[in-house]
Amino acid sequence: MNGAGSRSEAMFRIKICGVTSAEDAGFAAASGADAVGVNFYKGSRRYVPPGAAASIVRAVRDGGATPVGVFVNERPEVVEAICRDLEIGGVQLSGNEPPDEAARLPFRRIKAVRLAEGLDVAGLGSYPCDAFLLDAGGPGEFGGTGRTLDWADIPGSGIRKAWMLAGGLTPENVREAIRVARPGGVDVASGVEDRPGHKDAAKVKLFIKYALEGFDSERL
């Protein structure tokens, strides 16, 4: 099923994920990212301990973007405690979080869905989130792999909720990805890095520029 249906606006049009320093976070926000993700999953190469995240979150807010806490199969009470302590108002659930646990979180919620596991479009709409993030992933992996999805095969038009596209996006391909898949927003981590967790400023700036051009062309 092709995703070239009507495009729903997502929570964020451009999200730069997996920042590990206040410098990178501030630059991404100041360059035009709507949201910046901080990864609190210990199994990630981009993990940031909650105790070291305050300056990163502050840099995101000071730059005019929204900080998003990224979690994988974490207990709701832990997610809530971290986000309240750091004043983070948005969370991304990138594991196998059951709906009842997600519904307990008093924040704006993004639910990551790994297409490598198959996608039950009909069943997505009932999940208690504000938007979905469609990613590549793989067995035992929770995003950030850099694998590119087949955009033409993404069943975006059947998802009755806002959704974002991730998975192998780069400055070079983000405009085409937006044209083909028609997501409401895009998310990038490895595609703007020179090494895991360290963003390349030039790539971040180009990604945001080309993503904005892609979304603007969709309005014509």
Q: Burial-class residue 133 by CB neighbours within 10 Å (0-12, 13-18, 19+).
A: buried
Specify whether 83 is catalytic.
Answer: no
Give the chain's length: 220
Q: Is residue 215 packed enough to be buried (19+ CB in 10 Å), middle (13-18) or exposed (0-12)?
A: buried
Longest dimension (CA), the chain: 45
Q: Give the position of tokens 């979304």.
A: 215
Query: From CA 172, how far away is CA 47, in angstroms rounded?
Result: 26
State which H helix or E strand residue 134 sits in.
Answer: strand 131-135
* Phi, psi of 152, deg, nearest 5: -65, -20
Q: Is 135 a catalytic residue?
A: yes
Which residue is catalytic, options 17, 24, 34, 187?
17
Q: What is the DSSP letter of 47?
A: B
Name which of 152, 154, 78, 61 is nearest 115 in CA terms.
154
Angle formed by the axes of helices 201-219 and 174-181, nearest 10°: 30
Marked catalytic residue, from 24, 34, 83, 135? 135
| Residues that are catalytic | 17, 135
